[in-house]
Structure 1
Amino acid sequence: MKYIAALFAVLTIIGLGQAHQFEDFGKGPLHEDIQDFLDFVPYQEIQGIVSDYISNDPEVQKAFSDLLSSSVLRDLMVDWEAIPEMINILNYVQKEGVDIYSLVNKANKALNIDEIVPPSHLYSPVIQRTGGIVGLFKDITDVTPLADFIHTYVQKMKNSSPFVNFVNQLKSDNSQRAVDKVYQIKSLQIILNVLKTSGVNTQITADILYIVLGLTVPNHVTVYQERTLEDELMDFVNLLPVDQITEIVLKYVAQDEKVQHSLKYLYTPEFHSNLRDVEALKEHQVLVVYLEKAGLKVTDYIKKFHKDIGMEDYVPPKIQSIFKSEIGIQKIGDGIKGMLKDIYDIIPLDKIEAVYNEKLQNSKVFADFIEKITSSEFQKLANDLYVNPTLQNCLTNAKENGWELPELTKFFTRMFGFKLPY
């Protein structure tokens, strides 16, 4: 229940409250103007709709659970209150007689955030469910008298100088800078992304800000998405000269007999049998689980490798055609070893090193992964598998067919900047 209270405390900041349900939050003309708008909000109905969705709608339950299990709301409030331009707006509203700091601090208390103190010179006083997150917003909109809001807004702009001054304050350069900074807050972008992917029209807020106040939501803002480990690793792949690497690989595949022999070996029943034996080892299974928990989708990679080497009852025809060459077989290098050396020579190791160090400092998901694969626990798991006779037999057979698998492992890990204790 405390989380539901926290959510509603935050909602009070954006106006989901009436004087009849909340203690008085100020006095003076501006307070009365704002109260006239709040009186239109059917708070009890909205509260009932929200409570019903939280209790009965699976999509909203999951979104709500995800929100409460993270620090997104708390981070949003902390970052929002750290924007100087937002404090300027709060100070203006407080000075005009609205005890906005009291409302903000109710949310802060619910979210376990230290209260913010205004400057001493300022004034101090059974539901039918549409379903899903989109339905939640629609059901709330359906019970909200938007026409009354618009009519009252127009009347206030005509007849209330405190309200006009307040709107002018909201239209100021200070407010535009505040909007720019608010929309850069990571936690807000996470929330907007959840709403957007659920089908909620988040653009409507930007449109209202522009129509009513002339404030523009930054066009360059991209809805934030949490980066996965795979996203971080792809940054390294994007550093590679892919066209040059492809050219080298195709040249070796077409012209180097050792590489051709090594590739053909991957499609043989002997290698398939050896690979199945290794994958059946307890040591291999434990290592796979460890890497999966560390965030690496190793199971997907193994499945794809199986498919690529035809580990069914046949070898795809396209695999056979790759070894044909109109110019005949030549010895252009030292097999797989030579191909790896040629590729290694064009890899931008300095850039990889720089990105690796940057990610260690700024990417939690990457830093956590590196910590796990350089730990003594991982080293023991890897060593237990490496010394197993079944794996050694597989490595020996692979080496006899041109595959230096330990060297290949070092090569690929170096491409991602990993510094493992081999």
Structure 2
Amino acid sequence: MKFLFVLLLAVVHGCVSVTISTRDSDLGNDFQDFIKLIPVDKIREIVLDHAANDADLQKWIAYVQTDDFKNIILSLEAIPEYIEFLTYLEHSGVHIYEQINQLHEALKLPLLPIPPSHTSKRSRRSLDSMLDEIIAVLPREQLWALLQHKKQNSPAFKAFIARVQSDEFQGVMKKLAAIPEYVVLKQRLREDDVDVDFYIFEIKRWFGLI
């Protein structure tokens, strides 16, 4: 249990530390504007509470230590277009490699080389109920309004969205969807009542992919 808790702390830290892991750049500043709207402390409390008291979440923390989950990560990172996208983010002022390598360290995976510098809630406590709690504290209308503003007024953010919508990046997503361990992961999430299709739909909607 202690190891699982330490692992979760590492993952949570990687997720929230992005607030201090962008340099002063157009895209980095765009991301910071979104992060400022996210109640990081509340989300941290929700996650840590579930880690301490939720057997279902502890099961999933154990799962991310398995070879199946590690193979998803390593298979994704073997796709050249994915690495190209990470490098684009890194060179645009978003220190994505720092966040990814925190996860690598927690899972005892080799560090990903950083490129050179460039000028409804259920009564049962579960992973799904934790996601519901997190969504409930997000200022979704404000985030959506900011997203539309950035799409219209920020050249850097427009370029970021264009990269996400590009055939090259969508090819990365198709390759990820074909990884056998990823298919198994989605099925396991569905079996635990996580509405995987809803989250995929929402991500696509926010990035203008549907």
Partner of 2:159: 165
- Rounded to whole Å, the distance in 1 between the matches of 2:16 and 2:181 is 21
2:39 is aligned with 1:42: yes
1:296 paired residue number:
none
Q: Secondary structure at the match of 1:183?
A: helix
Work out the CA distance in 1 between the residues paired with 2:8 and 2:80.
24
Partner of 2:113: 117
The 1:57/1:109 distance shift into structure 2, 3 A limit, reads closer
Provide the rounded CA distance (Å) in 2 between the counterparts of 1:26 and 1:106.
18
Aligned partners of 2:110 and 2:56: how far apart in 1? 32
- In the alignment, which residue of structure 2 is the partner of 1:94? 90
Asked if the contact 2:8/2:51 (under 8 Å) is kept, the reply is: no
Which residue, 17, 23, 28 being the options, matches 1:26?
23
Equivalent residue letter for 1:182: L
The residue that corresponds to 1:174 in the other structure is 168
Asked if residue 77 in structure 1 is aligned to residue 111 in structure 2, the reply is: no
1:184-213 alpha-carbon deviations (Å, 9 max, x no partner) = 223332332222111111112321343233
- Mapped partners of 2:57, 2:104: distance in 1: 24
CA distance in 1, matches of 2:86, 2:75: 15
Distance 1:3 1:59, change over 3 A: closer
Q: Scaled by the length of structure 2, what TM-score is found?
A: 0.85
1:363 maps to none
Q: Per the alignment, do residues 9 and 54 of structure 1 end up closer, same or farther by CA in structure 2, a change over 3 Å counting?
A: closer
Aligned residues: 206
Q: Pairwise mapping of residues 215-364 of structure 1 onto structure 2 (< 5 A)?
A: 215=209
Question: Quick check: which has more Rg, 1 or 2?
Answer: 1
Identity %: 24
Match of 1:210? 204
Deviation digits for residues 153-177 of structure 1 (CA, Å, limit 9, x no counterpart): 0111121111111111111011100
Amino acid in structure 2 at the alignment position of 1:98: V
1:17/1:41 contact within 8 Å kept:
no
State the structure with bigger RCO (CA 8 A, min sep 6), 1 or 2.
2
Q: What CA distance in whole angstroms lies between the structure 1 residues aligned with 2:38 and 2:179?
A: 28
Equivalent in the alignment of 1:185: 179
Q: Label 1:58 to 1:7 Cα distance change in 2 as closer, same or farther (>3 A).
A: closer
Q: Which residue of 2 aligns with 1:144?
A: 138
What is the letter of the counterpart of residue 74 of structure 2? V
Distance 2:156 2:103 in 1: 26
Look up the SS of the partner of 1:47 in the other structure.
Answer: helix
Q: Larger deviation: 100-109 or 85-94?
A: 100-109
Q: Is the 8 A contact 1:2 1:110 kept in 2?
A: no
For residues 138 and 199 of structure 1, the distance between their equivalents in structure 2, rounded to whole angstroms, comes to 12
2:189 touches 2:196 (CA, 8 Å); kept in 1? Answer: yes
Choose the corresponding residue for 2:127, options 115, 133, 138: 133
- TM-superposition CA deviations, 1:63-97 (whole Å, max 9, x none): 433x1552233222212211111111111111212
Quote the offset at 1:180 in angstroms.
0.4
Q: Are 2:127 and 1:106 aligned?
A: no
Return closer, same or farther for 1:58/1:119 CA change in 2, 3 Å cut-off. closer
| Corresponding residue of 2:53 | 56
Extract unaligned runs of 5+ from structure 2. none
Are the counterparts in 1 of residues 39 and 138 from structure 2 also a CA contact under 8 Å? yes
Gaps of 5+ in 1: 124-128, 217-422
Alpha-carbon distance in 2 for matches of 1:118, 1:131:
38
Per-residue Cα deviation, 1:216-236 (whole angstroms, up to 9, x for no partner): 7xxxxxxxxxxxxxxxxxxxx
**Structure 1 vs Structure 2 CA RMSD:** 2.5
